[in-house]
Each structure stands twice: as C-alpha cells, then as structure tokens.
A = this chain, B = another copy of it.
Amino acid sequence: MKATYKDVKSDIMSKITKGDWAPGSLVPNEIELAGIYGCARATVNRAMRELADDGIIERRRKAGTRVRSSPIRQARFDIPLVRREIEDKGAEYRYSLAERTVEPAPDWLRARLKLGVGSKVLHLICMHYADGDPYQHEDRWINLGTLPQAEDADFTQVGPNEWLVATVPFSDAEISFSAGLAGPKLADYLASKDGDPVFTIERSTWWEGQAITYVKLSFRPGHRMTTRY
C-alpha cells in the first residue's frame, strides 16, 4: 500500500515487459489504478505521463491508455560543447582558428537556412584538439544578417560554438548525423588519410524564425557517439 509514482511506474512497466498487458491492449483507467495501488489519482497520473513520455504507452482523452503496439524506442544524446567533451575524458583541450572570411552566402547555404539573396555570412574553419591530437574539425557559417556582432568577435581564443552559446543562449535546431569521406583537405586537418570515413554532425539553428548558424562538424576517424537507454 501507499505506492509512490515510481512504484506505480515500475510495476506497470513490469506488467508490460512480462506480457501481462499485451501490446495494443487497453490498460485500466487512472481511477481504477489509483484504487488498485491505494494512492491518489495524481500519483498514477504522474507515473503514466512519464511512461507516455518514454514512448511505452499511448494516452488519449476519453479513449483511454493503451500499450504501444510497436514501442517507439528513443535514444537521448547529450550534445555537449567540444571543450567539455574533451575535458570530461581527462584530455587537454586546445582550439585553433584556421580560416576566417566574410562572404555572400553560397546558394546551398541559402537554401538550407532559408536566407534571402545577398545575405552575408561569416565563414570560419576551426580545429579542436584533445591532448594535441586532432579531434574535431568545425566548418562554421554564421548569418551576419541576424548576428552582425559576430563580425567583430575574436574567434582566435574562444570557439564560435562557445561564443554563440553565450550570445544566443537557446534556439531551435535541426541536427543530423551521417557518414562522410575525408577529402584531401579535411584528411590533412584531421591528420588522417584521404578516403577515411568520418562521422559528421550537421546542425542548423534558428532563433525566433531567424537563421543564426549552420555548422558541419567532422570527427577524427574512429569516433563514436554512444548512449544507453
């Protein structure tokens, strides 16, 4: 008796994993469960809400709650600052700015960020090192239309990512992972061989509908992103 929301959550979870409640089946409503577990409806509600957030069950007003037939498993990845990522591994972080130009946005970038014709962007190429070894190559484009102050920022000491996080704390983003090939230039930056596979993250961010930046991050060969769920 007197179950906590965690008790309720894990008990329901085990009923599902043990197969007592089959996929697609309707689970008792909150009032019944509150009676069964001897707790208030709010407690059951919290347990069920978390299970729904985890993609285990599906809830609809009036229709009730059912076990998802094909459970949507989701993995969460932390997207830390490179510096943190490296320092958390116990390695020494070093940053360097390789190139810096101000130019009109190329067509592919305008399409991606939905920029108008003639938009000017700041283009930066940076490297991040862990214990002196190349770790990540950063190909960064910043929209000067929304962030004109970026033109005056000094990116030789602090990376554009950290500068952006401090300047535009939160924003909408689209992130995608893919595998690419190191061309000769990228291979040189990463001290790897031409034709090596590189793990790539691309991210576009907006703030209140305004495009801020697009970045392509290429990791040294062998990099993996791992998480448990």
Give residues in A with beta carbon < 8 Å to B: 13, 16-17, 19, 23, 55-56, 70-81, 84, 165-166, 169-170, 172-181, 195-200, 221-229
**Contact present for A75 and B77 (CB under 8 Å):** yes
**Contact present for B197 and A181 (CB under 8 Å):** yes
18 extra A-B contacts, CB within 8 A, seeds A71-B170, A74-B78, A173-B228: A17-B170, A70-B81, A70-B84, A73-B79, A77-B77, A174-B227, A174-B228, A175-B227, A175-B228, A178-B179, A178-B225, A179-B198, A179-B200, A179-B223, A181-B196, A195-B195, A197-B197, A197-B198
Chain B contacts for A224, CB-based, 8 A: 176-178
Chain B contacts for A222, CB-based, 8 A: 178
Q: Which of B70, B74, B178 touches A199 (beta carbons < 8 Å)?
A: B178
12 contacts between A and B (CB under 8 A): A16-B170, A17-B170, A19-B169, A23-B166, A23-B169, A70-B165, A73-B78, A75-B79, A76-B77, A177-B177, A177-B199, A195-B195
A197-B180 contact in complex given A78-B74, A79-B74, C-beta closer than 8 Å = yes
Chain B contacts for A173, CB-based, 8 A: 73, 228-229
**Contact present for A226 and B74 (CB under 8 Å):** no
- How close is A166's CB to chain B, nearest CB, in angstroms? 8
- How close is A72's CB to chain B, nearest CB, in angstroms? 5
- How close is A21's CB to chain B, nearest CB, in angstroms? 10
Q: Which of B23, B75, B165, B179 touches A180 (beta carbons < 8 Å)?
A: B179
Closest to A226 in B: B176
A197-B175 contact in complex given A17-B169, A70-B84, A75-B77, C-beta closer than 8 Å = no
**Contact present for A71 and B165 (CB under 8 Å):** yes
- How close is A191's CB to chain B, nearest CB, in angstroms? 17
- How close is A201's CB to chain B, nearest CB, in angstroms? 10
Chain B contacts for A227, CB-based, 8 A: 174-176
Chain B contacts for A228, CB-based, 8 A: 172-175
Q: A16 vs B166: C-alpha distance in the bound complex, in angstroms?
A: 11
A71-B169 contact in complex given A174-B227, A177-B224, A179-B197, C-beta closer than 8 Å = yes
